[in-house]
Amino acid sequence: MTQHKDLRIPNTGAYVLRHARVPAVFFDGAMPGLAQDSEGCALVDLTITDGKIAGIAAAGSAAPGPDDIDLTGRLVWSTLIDIHTHLDKGQVIPRAMPDGTLDGGAIGTFEDRKRWTHADMRARMSFGLRCAYAHGMGAIRTHLDSQEENAPTSWDVFRELRDEWAGRVELQAVGLVPLTFFRTPWGKELPGLVARSKGVLGGTTDAIGYYDGARNDELVALLNLFFEVAGAHGLDVDMHVDQSDDPAAFSLPLIAEAVLRTGFKGKVLAGHCVNLALQDEATIKRTAELCAKAGIAVSTMPTPMVYLQDRKPNRTPRWRGVTAVSELLAAGVPIAIGGDNCRDAWFPYGDHDMVDTFQQSVRVLQLDHPLTPAIAGIGPASAKIAGFAGTGRIVAGAKADLILFAARTLNEFMCRPQSDRIVLNVGRRVTDPLPDYAELDAILAV
């Protein structure tokens, strides 16, 4: 029997993937008539023409062609979306080494930023993108630390890479600064740079009193300013929110109230929000409903949070460090899952592989039975939240950017690393290997 990784994919860009099992959530409501199995997947024939999905039909009903591939019920997913990562910080180990704490992440990043030349950033960000592409990621939103001394270089590199990777990995960037920066002269310039670069405006409310001297009672004024500035520049926003185990450092309801108060019209994504899970049940419910009313979506990044939150020396953590995802979903808040930091001062692990992030997140969040919301969070829901046009859905007319797995069921999918997956870009097999870590030796040696 042919090994999955040895499946022959025609280079013509025109063939039928027969008996492909697709989680119906990827159809995004477009194929209501198809029968689904107990895991919410449908068995279909996918007709690929000119690198696009030309047709989706019940298995066995597509017209046969000479180059057809019978997948015998194996899973086909869209290429995946990582809605929240930090390509600018990544791949610096051992030049910077995390110590497992949030303070260590902030200090280590502050020190490493001094080495962020154009060449250094380009090498590391390219490395991260090559990992992502080989694993089957089709779209990435990266945050870029956007302090005055770094931002011009970081955004230059980002714009170059966005152009280079167009058609393979769709890239977005978020200009990330603490909210207090919007009171400074640089904070008045940054939104223009972000708008010219077609980016998203970022801001962090994490422990803002601790790092920036702005107590929570100043936060309302800072949020007013932030949403006014973003609105004036026509920007969407993506914030780092409440990455804290202190229930009192709770800014998510203030953000929702600020959106409603200012009438902000752009998209709002709140990342992390982990201390929501430490509030009492009534507060969690009220806050989730407020977020839904304000149209706020939430991104959750379980892999670095499990590593960073509730870590104390010689003590096993007592909570999982993630936000109240099930309660947010129940209130109608759109949820996306992100990979976040990768081999940097905040988090030493990761490979920009959302299959790995998904498998871990499902377990950490108990986001299963069914797995549909978790799949949406790295596919169609994520695409809608971020506005990625070409990724995360399997619909007629979409690019044939797909992942073919050896697993036939979602259970089989969850139990193995899927390292024999086949990635298609516009219907053709991606053969680029994962980059070799040795390529980074020279830049990390300085």
Q: List interacting residues with Zn ion (CB under 5 A).
A: 340
Q: Which is nearer to Zn ion, 87 or 259 (CB)?
A: 87
Structure tokens, 374: 């978790």
CB-based contact 25:32 (threshold 8 Å): no
Q: Tell the smallest beta-carbon distance from residue 240 to Zn ion (Å).
A: 6
If the CB atoms of residues 340 and 356 are measured against Zn ion, the closer one turns out to be 340
* Closest distance of CB 338 from Zn ion, Å: 7
28 vs 340, which CB is nearer to Zn ion?
340
Give me 212's structure tokens: 């920036």
HSE value, Cβ hemisphere, 13 Å, CA-based, for 199: 27
CB of 231 to Zn ion, least distance (A): 23
Indicate the residue among 71 and 87 with the shorter CB distance to Zn ion: 87
- 261 vs 351: CA distance, rounded Å: 40
Q: In what order do the strands lie in the sheet with 52-58?
A: 52-58, 41-49, 15-23, 69-70
CA distances from 348 to 8, 307, 391 (A): 36, 9, 28
Q: CA 109 to CA 346: how far, in whole Å? A: 8
Q: Which two tokens stand for residue 309?
A: 């939150």
| Separation of alpha carbons 409 and 407, rounded Å | 6
Least Å distance between CB 301 and Zn ion?
A: 6
State the Cα torsion 61-42-38-359 to the nearest 10°. 150
Our CB check for Zn ion shows the closer of 336 and 410 to be 336
Cβ density class 308-334: b for 16+ within 10 Å, e for less: bbebeeeeeeeebbbbbbebbbebebb
Residue burial 13-46, b: 16+ Cβ < 10 Å; e: rest: bbbbbbbbbbbbbbbbeebeebeeeebebbbbbb
The answer to whether the beta carbons of residues 172 and 181 sit under 8 Å apart is no
Compare residues 103 and 439 and give the one whose CB is closer to Zn ion.
103
Residues near 111 by beta carbon (within 8 Å), at least 6 away in sequence:
96, 345
**Least distance to Zn ion, CB of residue 302, Å:** 12
Nearest to Zn ion of 74, 124 (CB atom): 124
* Closest distance of CB 242 from Zn ion, Å: 12
CB of 299 to Zn ion, least distance (A): 9
Query: Cα separation of 163 and 161, whole Å?
Result: 5
Closest contact distance (angstroms) between CB of 204 and Zn ion is: 9
Residue 79 or 109 having the CB closest to Zn ion: 109
Cβ atoms of residues 399 and 426 within 8 Å:
yes
- Beta strand 15-23 pairing with 41-49: antiparallel
DSSP 8-state code for residue 332: T
Least separation in angstroms between residue 202's CB and Zn ion is 9
| Closest residue to bound Zn ion by CB | 340
Nearer to Zn ion, 340 or 401 (CB): 340
Q: Which residue number, 236 or 401, has a Cβ lying nearer to Zn ion?
A: 236
Minimum distance, C-beta of residue 271 to Zn ion, in the bound complex (Å): 6
